[in-house]
Amino acid sequence: MSEDIVTQLTERLQSTKFAIQLDESTDIAGESQLLAYVRYCWQNVVEEEFLFCKSLPARTTADEIFRVINEFFTTFGLQWTNCIGVCTDGAATMTGRKSGVVTRIKQVSPEIVDTHCMIHREALASKNLNETLGFVLDDCVRIVNFIKTRTVNSRLFAQLCIEADAEHKHLLLHSAIRWLSRGKVLERVFELRLELLQFLTEHNLDLAGKVADTEWLAMLAYLVDIFSLLNSLNTSLQGKDACLLKTHDKVAAFKKKLRLWLTRLESNSHNMFV
């Protein structure tokens, strides 16, 4: 079935213009994987399909990535002249001016248009935190690591949550490459704050003082709220039939909401001191 689907898709791409999106990432086994998606027009309808997922056995260099893509094109008779666009995450390997993947592709298809994934750009823009809020995130990561990276601590904390009839019994690990990771990790820490305070106090850790501090908890609650909104935005930008116009409108609307919230906050702060 898999081979038949690939054959049908590549036969369509042999006779039409198309654009590809590339993403190189690492799976749970630590292996580098190159994923490619394709968008094309078929019978007056814009179609989006998963093109391939190929392992990168050696280095994840631009030459190696281009070789894998080019071999796939050659195997299935796809012409680079039919590829009119390529979208990447903006990494140096992909967009380097002298030896990036996009540069290599333009050598065989000079008219191709390259773009930086808008969703990835939004994710990069939302990474920056001010120093105080950054410390709160770092504290949460330390708390999670103390429990999750030690098997005994993980089991003891799970048992504590079960005895306390908590909604959850496990914390979530933070991963910088997963866009929704920070929001979900912080939300779980906030939901289990009472259980964490008891567990950390029993182990005589200085981190217990953080969880007991009402000001620290207030900043954590703020982070949970803002990252929840960012995660909702990130999720809405993904999915089938997403396009530049739709994603631009959603990001623009979110920025207007932020300005509105800031205006309301400044107004409420002013009224408190009048």
Over residues 233-267, the pLDDT tens digits come to: 888 877 777 777 888 888 888 888 888 877 877 77
Q: Which long-range contacts (CB under 8 A, 24 or more apart) does 24-28 make?
A: 24/56, 24/60, 24/65, 24/91, 24/93, 24/94, 25/177, 26/177
The SS3 assignment for 19 reads: strand
d(CA 134, CA 103): 37
d(CA 238, CA 174): 21
Q: What confidence score (pLDDT) does residue 175 get?
A: 66
Q: What confidence score (pLDDT) does residue 72 get?
A: 92
In 3D space, the residue among 76, 1, 15 whose CA is nearest the CA of residue 36 turns out to be 76
Q: What confidence score (pLDDT) does residue 177 get?
A: 55
| pTM listed for this prediction | 0.67
Domain limits of the chain? 2-116, 124-238
Residues 6+ apart with CB under 8 A from 3: none
Q: What confidence score (pLDDT) does residue 268 get?
A: 63
- Domain 2-116 top-level CATH class: alpha beta
Over residues 156-200, the pLDDT tens digits come to: 989 989 988 888 888 887 665 566 677 888 899 999 999 999 998
**CA 171, chain centre distance (Å):** 19
Q: With a cut of 50, which residues of the chain have pLDDT below it?
A: 272-273
Q: What confidence score (pLDDT) does residue 79 get?
A: 92
Q: What confidence score (pLDDT) does residue 254 get?
A: 85
d(CA 160, CA 199): 8
